[in-house]
C-alpha cells in the first residue's frame, strides 16, 4: 500500500464514511483538489482497505464526456446481474441507457433505477463506489450520480468522487490541499534516496509548491543527475511536463501506441489492439510504454494526468491517425456513436458523411436522455457540414439541445454564430423562437420573451407559433401585444380566434370556439398552461381537471420529468378545489420529489392554493414570501381566499382588487367571487356589483355548473335574493368543486341567521361545517362553527385527523402504502431507496400509534 504523507485528516474522514456505510448509514463525499494532490491515491487506498465491501470503480474521461451514460455504465457493470430484480420500467430504463435496448428514457429515471440496483446489490454486502476525475463525467451520468448521492443515506453504500473542481453538486466536499514544507521534505526524501545538494532540494520544494505528484515525478523525468545540476523546474505545469518528458523518451511506435490508448478511454484491450494492428504497431511496444500505461485486462494509465499529457503532446496528425484507426476498429453495430465520434476527431475538414453519422448519434443520444451529448454531436456535425444552409440548421438544432440541457450560455453563443450567417426561409423565425425561450429561462436582460416568439409567429405566419406566444404572454402577463398582432395576421385556428374573441368581444364570443377544444384534453399536450388557464378563465372545471390529468398521464408514460411536474401541479390545484386535500398533498409531494431529484425549483403555486383553501395563515404567508414576483397574481388570489376564510375582509378586499385589476386571464376570473364577498362585507356595494357583472358574464358563457353556482351565491350576496342561494346550491350539489359547494351552504346559513331564521340556518351551517371540516378547510370551517354557535348550537369538535400529524411526504407514503404499494413501489414513485421508505414508515407508525401496514389501511382520512 502506498504511503501517504500529510493526509491523516483526509484518511480519517474517508475511513469514517466507509465505516458508516458498513453500519448501514450511507453517504457521499467529493474529494476536491488541483491535479497532483493525491486524490487518486486516496481512492486507491480506500479500495484496498474496504474489506467486506463490493468495490466499484469508474472514472470520467475528457474524451468521453460527450457520450451519454458512459461513466454510469462503468459503475453499474459489476451489478448488472441483479437487473432482473428491478421493477420492469427501471430495468428497461437501464437497458436503454446502456444500449441493451432502444427507446426514449429520462436520465433521472435511470438515476432512480440505479438507486434500486445499488440497493439490491447492497443487500448482500456493503457497496463502495469510487469515481475518479469526476469533472470529466458525461452530463447524464453526473446527474444520475449526484441524484444517488442524495438518496443513499439509509443504504450501506458509500460514494466517493475525486474532482479537480470545488465540490460535486450538493455532495459534501473534502479539499485536499498542498503539503506543508516538513511533509514535502519527507515525501521528497522518500522519492530521492540519493543525497541532494541543499540548494537544489530547497529549489525543488519551492517550485513544486507542496504538490505531491510534482515531487514524485521530478526524479523520474529529470533524473538524479539533472537535479544535481540544478534542474530548472517548470512551475506552471510541472506535472504534465514531467509526463511529456517521459513520453519524449519513448520510441515512435510506443509513443503512437500510448496516443491510441489516450484517444479512447474505454480501456478495452481488444479495441486497442485492433486499432494498433491497423497502424502496424507490434505488441513489443508495450514493454517500452509500460511505465506510463498498464496493458492488462483493462488499459490503465499510471495517472489520469498521464493520459491527458499523452494526448496533448501528440502532434495533430498523430491524433487523427489514432482516431481513424479506433473508428475502423469500433463495431458499427454495437457502438455506432463512439465510432462516429472517432471519425469526427479524425476529420481534417468538412465531411458530410461524417456529419450525417453524428446527426444519427445525436438522435440516439436525445432518445436516451443524453441532451448534452446530443448537443455535442450536433455542434461537431455543424462544424463538419459543407452546405452553408444545412450548417445553420444544425447549429440551431445544437442551440436547442443546449437550451434543453440548461447550458444557456452555450445556446446563446451558438445563436449569435447563426445570426452572422446569411439566412433565409424559416431560419430567422427559428432563431427568434430559440431566443424567446432563452430569454424566458434566463430571466434577465434583453427584450421580453413574448416579443421574440411574436416576431417568429409573424415571420412564419403560423397559428401554432402565435399560440406559443400567447402561452408565454399569459405566463408573463403580457398577452395584449400578442392578441393585437394575431388580429391582423393571415392565420386561422379555433384557439387563436377564440382567444382573440374572448379578449376583444367578450367571454361568450370566445367560449363558443374555445369550449369544444378545451373538452379535448389531448389537444393541449404542447401548451398545457394555455389550456389550463383558459379553462379556469371560463370556469370550466371538468376541462381544467381533464387537461391536468392528461398532462400527468402523458408525463408518466413518456418518462418526461419536464411534463410530469407541470401536470402534477395543475392536478393538485384542480383537486384542491374539489376538496380532495389529501390527494393534492400527494401530488405536491411527488412534484417536489421530482424537483429535488432533477435539481429544479418546485412549482410553488399549488402549495399556495392549498394553504389558502386550508386556511393555514402562517404556512400561506411563509409561501407568499418565497414567490417569484411574476407569481404576484396567484399570491393575491390565494391571499383573498385565505382572508375571506379568516374573516379579514378588508385584507381580502385589497388582495382581490389587485388580482382583478390586472385582468390576467385565469387568476383575475377566479378572484372575482372573492372580491364580491369581501366588498359586500366591507360595505362597498359598487365594487361588489361591478365584480358580479364581470363574473356573471364569464360563467354564463361557459354554462359550467361550477361557475353558475359560484355566480349565483355571489349574486345572492349582493342582492340578498334567497332564491339565488338556493340556485347556487342546486348547481353545486353533486359537482366536484366541493369547496364552492360548502361555501354556498355557509353563505346561505349566514344569511338565514341574520334574517332570524335560526332553525333553517343551523341546517345549512351544519352541512357546511361538516363538509369543510371533513376536507380540512380550517378557516372556513371555523367560520361555520362560529355561526353555529351564534344560532345556539355547539359545533361538534373536530377530531384530530391522522394526516395532520404527518409531513406532506409522509402523507404521500402513507396513502401509497394504504393502497397496497410495497416499499419498492413507493421508493420508485418518490425517488427514494426502499430503506428510506421503511424509515419513513417507522416514523408514521410512531406518530399514529400503529404497528402494521394493515392498520394504516383502516384510516379513512389517509386513504382519501
**Quick one: how far is CA 568 from the chain centroid?**
14
Return the CATH superfamily for domain 8-175.
P-loop containing nucleotide triphosphate hydrolases (3.40.50.300)
* Inter-residue contact 439 to 447 (CB < 8 Å): yes
Beta-carbon contacts of 392 under 8 Å, excluding residues fewer than 6 positions away, are 418, 421, 423, 427
Choose between 317 and 146: higher pLDDT: 317
Total residue count of the chain as it appears in this document: 864
Q: If you ran DSSP here, which 8-state letter would residue 384 be given?
A: T
Q: At what angle do helices 388-404 and 408-419 cross, to 10 degrees?
A: 160
Can you say whether the dihedral through the CA atoms of 665, 666, 667, 669 is positive or negative? positive
Which residue spans of the chain are classified as CATH 1.25.40?
A: 703-798
* HEC readout, 559-605: CCCCHHHHHHHHHHHHHHHCCCHHHHHHHHHHHHHHHHHHCCCCCCH
> Treating both helix axes as pointing N-terminal to C-terminal, what angle do 388-404 and 352-367 enclose, rounded to 10 degrees?
20
Report d(CA 110, CA 145) in Å as an integer.
10
Residue 236 pLDDT more than 50? no
**Alpha carbons 152 and 169: distance in angstroms, whole number:** 15
Structural contact between residues 65 and 240, judged by C-beta atoms closer than 8 angstroms: no
468 contacts 457 by C-beta, under 8 angstroms: yes
Residue 708 · residue 700 · CB < 8 Å:
yes
Identify the DSSP state of 762: H
Q: ∠ CA 374-65-151 to the nearest 5 degrees?
A: 95
- What is Dmax (Cα atoms) for the chain? 111
C-alpha cell at 395: 447549429
- Report d(CA 196, CA 182) in Å as an integer: 16
**In this model, does residue 95 exceed pLDDT 90?**
no
Q: Is residue 620 within 8 Å of 609, Cβ to Cβ?
A: no
Residue where the block lists cell 377564440: 498
Instruction: Report the distance separating Cα 749 and Cα 781, nearest Å.
Output: 13
What is the model's pTM? 0.71
Please, which pLDDT band fits residue 227 given cuts at 50, 70 and 90?
A: very low
Residue 302 clears pLDDT 60, i.e. is over it: yes
Question: Is 237 or 715 the better-scoring residue by pLDDT?
Answer: 715
What pLDDT is stored for residue 446 in this prediction? 44
Q: Report domain 703-798's class.
A: mainly alpha
Averaging pLDDT over each range in 231-245, 420-434, 675-689, which range is the top one? 675-689
User: Confidence band (pLDDT; 50, 70, 90) for 365?
Assistant: confident
When mean pLDDT is compared across 248-262, 271-285, 627-641, the lowest value belongs to 627-641
Share of the chain above pLDDT 70, in %: 87
Q: Between β-strands 299-301 and 293-295, what pairing exists: parallel, antiparallel or unpaired?
A: antiparallel
User: What's the confidence (pLDDT) of residue 558?
Assistant: 65
80 or 491, higher pLDDT: 80
> Is the separation of the CB atoms in 861 and 803 below 8 Å?
yes
Interaxial angle between packed helices 738-754 and 705-719, expressed in degrees from 0 to 180 and rounded to the nearest 10: 20
Q: Please provide residue 505's backbone torsions phi and psi, each rounded to the nearest 5 degrees.
A: -115, -10
Q: Which residue has the cell 406518530?
A: 847
Of 331-340, 449-458, 546-555, which gets the smallest average pLDDT?
Answer: 449-458
* Interacting residues of 35 by C-beta distance below 8 A, sequence separation 6+: 164, 213, 239, 240, 304, 305
pLDDT for 814: 86
Highest mean pLDDT among 188-192, 463-467, 514-518: 514-518
Q: Categorize the per-residue pLDDT at 350 as very low, low, confident or very high, splitting at 50, 70 and 90.
A: very high
Return the higher-pLDDT residue of 704 and 422: 704
In this prediction, residue 858 carries a pLDDT of: 73
**Closest-CA residue to 215 (of 205, 223, 228):** 205
Q: What percent of the chain has pLDDT over 90?
A: 37
Residue with the larger pLDDT of the pair 364 and 791: 791
Q: Which distant-in-sequence residues (6+ apart) come within 8 Å of 534 by Cβ? A: 498, 499, 502, 514, 518, 665, 666
How high is the pLDDT of residue 17?
95
Q: What DSSP string describes 167-236?
A: -BTTB-EEE--PPPHHHHHHHHHHH--S---HHHHHHHHHHHTT-HHHHHHHHHHHHHHHHHTT----ST
Determine the pLDDT at residue 36.
80
Return phi, psi of residue 161, to 5°: -110, 135
For the segment 772-823, what is each residue's pLDDT rounded down to a tens digit? 998 989 999 999 999 999 998 887 765 556 566 777 788 888 888 888 888 8
Beta strand spans in 27-165 (E):
27-32, 54-59, 127-132, 157-163
* pLDDT of res. 347: 93
Give the chain's mean pLDDT: 84
* Tens-place pLDDT, residues 186-225: 877 776 666 666 666 666 676 667 777 767 766 555 544 4
Predicted pLDDT at 590? 85
- What mean pLDDT do residues 429-446 have? 66
Residues of the chain with CATH 3.40.50.300: 8-175
In angstroms, rounded to a whole number, what is the distance separating the alpha carbons of residues 168 and 689?
59
Q: Between the CA of residue 30 and those of 33, 172, 177, 381, 383, what are the distances in Å?
A: 10, 6, 14, 35, 36
Q: Residue range 125-146: average pLDDT?
A: 88
Query: Is domain 803-863 in CATH 3.40.50.2000, yes or no?
Result: no
CA–CA dist 699, 702 (Å, integer): 6
Cell numbers for 695: 363574473
**C-alpha to C-alpha distance for 699 and 725, rounded to whole angstroms:** 16
Average pLDDT over residues 7-25: 92
Check residue 224 and give its pLDDT.
Answer: 43
15-19, 482-486, 778-782, 836-840: lowest mean pLDDT where?
482-486
Most confident of 26-35, 280-289, 435-444, 635-644: 635-644
Q: How confident is the model at residue 7 (pLDDT cuts 50, 70, 90)?
A: confident
Domain(s) labelled CATH 1.10.10.10 in the chain stretch across 803-863
Amino acid at each position: 500500500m502506498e504511503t501517504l504523507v500529510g493526509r491523516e485528516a483526509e484518511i480519517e474522514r474517508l475511513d469514517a464514511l466507509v465505516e458508516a456505510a458498513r453500519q448501514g448509514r450511507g453517504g457521499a463525499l467529493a474529494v476536491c483538489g488541483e491535479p497532483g494532490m493525491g486524490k487518486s491515491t486516496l481512492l486507491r487506498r480506500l479500495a484496498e482497505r474496504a474489506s467486506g465491501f463490493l468495490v466499484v470503480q469508474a472514472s470520467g474521461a475528457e474524451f468521453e464526456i460527450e457520450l451519454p451514460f458512459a461513466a454510469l455504465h462503468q459503475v453499474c457493470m459489476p451489478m448488472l446481474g441483479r437487473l432482473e430484480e428491478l421493477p420492469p420500467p427501471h430495468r428497461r430504463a437501464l437497458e436503454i441507457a446502456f444500449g441493451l435496448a432502444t427507446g426514449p428514457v429520462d436520465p433521472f429515471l435511470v438515476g432512480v433505477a440505479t438507486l434500486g440496483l445499488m440497493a439490491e446489490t447492497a443487500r448482500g454486502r456493503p457497496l463502495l463506489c469510487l469515481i475518479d476525475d469526476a469533472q470529466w463525467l458525461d452530463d447524464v451520468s453526473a446527474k444520475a450520480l449526484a441524484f444517488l448521492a442524495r438518496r443513499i443515506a439509509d443504504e450501506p453504500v458509500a460514494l466517493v468522487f475525486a474532482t479537480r473542481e470545488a465540490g460535486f453538486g450538493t455532495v459534501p466536499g473534502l479539499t485536499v490541499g498542498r503539503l506543508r514544507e516538513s511533509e514535502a521534505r519527507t515525501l521528497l526524501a522518500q522519492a530521492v534516496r540519493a543525497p541532494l545538494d541543499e540548494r537544489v532540494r530547497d529549489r525543488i520544494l519551492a517550485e513544486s509548491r507542496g504538490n505531491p505528484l510534482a515531487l514524485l515525478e521530478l526524479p523520474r523525468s529529470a533524473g538524479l543527475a539533472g537535479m544535481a545540476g540544478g534542474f530548472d523546474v517548470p512551475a506552471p505545469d510541472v506535472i504534465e511536463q514531467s509526463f511529456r518528458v517521459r513520453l519524449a523518451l519513448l520510441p515512435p511506435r510506443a509513443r503512437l501506441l500510448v496516443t491510441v490508448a489516450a484517444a479512447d478511454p474505454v480501456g478495452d484491450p481488444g479495441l486497442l489492439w485492433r486499432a494498433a494492428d491497423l497502424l502496424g504497431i507490434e505488441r513489443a511496444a508495450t514493454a517500452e510504454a509500460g511505465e506510463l500505461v498498464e496493458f492488462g485486462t483493462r488499459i490503465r494509465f499510471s495517472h489520469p494526468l498521464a493520459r491527458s499529457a499523452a494526448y496533448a503532446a501528440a502532434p495533430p496528425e498523430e491524433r487523427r491517425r489514432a482516431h481513424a484507426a479506433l473508428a475502423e476498429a469500433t463495431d458499427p453495430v454495437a457502438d455506432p456513436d463512439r465510432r462516429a465520434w472517432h471519425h469526427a476527431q479524425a476529420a481534417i475538414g468538412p465531411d458530410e458523411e461524417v456529419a450525417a453519422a453524428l446527426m444519427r448519434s445525436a438522435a440516439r443520444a436525445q432518445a436516451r436522455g443524453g441532451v448534452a451529448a446530443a448537443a455535442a454531436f450536433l455542434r461537431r456535425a455543424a462544424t463538419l457540414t459543407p452546405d452553408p444552409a444545412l450548417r445553420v440548421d444544425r447549429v440551431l438544432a445544437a442551440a436547442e439541445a443546449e437550451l434543453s440541457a440548461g447550458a444557456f450560455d452555450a445556446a446563446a453563443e451558438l445563436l449569435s454564430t447563426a445570426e452572422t450567417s446569411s439566412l433565409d426561409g424559416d431560419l430567422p423565425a427559428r432563431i427568434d423562437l430559440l431566443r424567446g425561450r432563452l430569454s424566458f429561462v434566463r430571466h434577465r436582460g434583453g427584450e421580453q420573451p413574448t416579443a421574440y416568439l411574436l416576431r417568429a409567429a409573424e415571420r412564419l405566419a403560423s397559428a401554432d407559433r402565435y399560440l406559443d406566444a400567447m402561452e408565454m404572454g399569459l405566463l408573463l402577463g403580457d398577452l395584449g401585444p400578442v392578441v393585437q398582432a394575431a388580429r391582423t395576421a393571415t392565420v386561422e385556428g379555433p384557439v387563436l380566434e377564440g382567444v382573440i374573441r374572448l379578449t376583444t368581444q367578450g367571454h361568450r364570443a370566445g367560449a363558443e370556439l374555445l369550449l369544444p377544444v378545451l373538452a379535448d384534453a389531448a389537444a393541449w399536450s404542447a401548451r398545457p398552461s394555455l389550456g389550463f388557464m383558459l379553462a379556469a378563465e371560463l370556469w370550466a372545471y371538468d376541462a381544467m381537471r381533464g387537461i391536468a390529468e392528461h398532462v400527468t398521464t402523458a408525463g408518466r408514460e413518456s418518462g418526461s420529468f419536464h411534463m410530469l411536474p407541470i401536470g402534477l401541479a395543475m392536478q393538485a390545484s384542480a383537486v384542491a378545489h374539489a376538496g380532495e386535500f389529501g390527494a393534492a398533498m400527494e401530488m405536491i409531494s411527488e412534484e417536489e420529489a421530482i424537483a429535488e431529484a432533477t435539481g429544479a425549483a418546485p412549482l410553488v403555486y399549488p402549495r399556495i392554493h392549498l394553504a389558502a383553501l386550508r386556511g393555514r395563515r402562517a404556512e400561506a404567508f411563509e409561501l407568499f414570501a418565497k414567490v417569484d414576483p411574476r407569481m404576484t397574481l396567484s399570491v393575491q388570489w390565494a391571499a383573498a381566499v385565505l382572508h375571506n376564510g379568516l374573516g379579514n375582509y378588508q385584507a381580502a378586499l385589497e388582495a382581490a382588487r389587485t388580482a382583478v385589476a390586472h385582468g390576467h386571464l385565469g387568476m383575475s376570473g377566479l378572484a372575482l367571487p372573492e372580491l364580491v364577498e369581501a366588498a359586500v362585507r366591507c360595505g362597498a356595494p359598487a365594487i361588489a356589483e361591478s365584480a358580479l357583472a364581470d363574473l356573471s358574464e364569464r360563467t354564463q358563457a361557459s354554462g359550467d355548473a361550477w361557475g353558475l353556482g359560484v355566480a349565483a351565491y355571489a349574486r345572492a350576496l349582493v342582492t340578498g335574493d334567497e332564491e339565488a342561494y338556493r340556485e347556487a346550491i342546486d348547481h353545486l350539489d353533486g359537482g366536484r368543486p366541493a369547496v364552492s359547494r360548502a361555501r354556498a351552504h355557509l353563505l346561505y346559513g349566514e344569511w338565514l341567521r341574520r334574517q332570524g331564521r335560526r332553525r333553517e340556518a343551523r341546517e345549512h351551517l351544519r352541512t357546511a361545517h361538516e363538509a369543510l371540516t371533513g376536507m380540512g378547510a380550517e378557516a372556513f370551517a371555523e367560520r361555520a362553527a362560529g355561526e353555529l354557535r351564534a344560532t345556539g348550537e355547539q359545533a361538534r369538535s373536530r377530531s384530530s385527523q391522522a394526516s395532520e400529524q404527518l409531513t406532506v411526504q409522509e402523507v404521500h407514503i402513507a396513502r401509497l402504502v394504504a393502497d397496497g404499494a410495497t416499499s419498492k413501489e413507493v421508493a420508485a414513485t418518490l425517488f427514494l431507496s426502499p430503506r428510506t421508505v421503511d424509515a419513513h414508515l417507522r416514523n408514521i407508525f410512531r406518530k399514529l400509534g400503529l404497528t402494521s401496514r394493515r392498520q394504516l389501511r383502516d384510516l379513512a382520512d389517509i386513504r382519501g
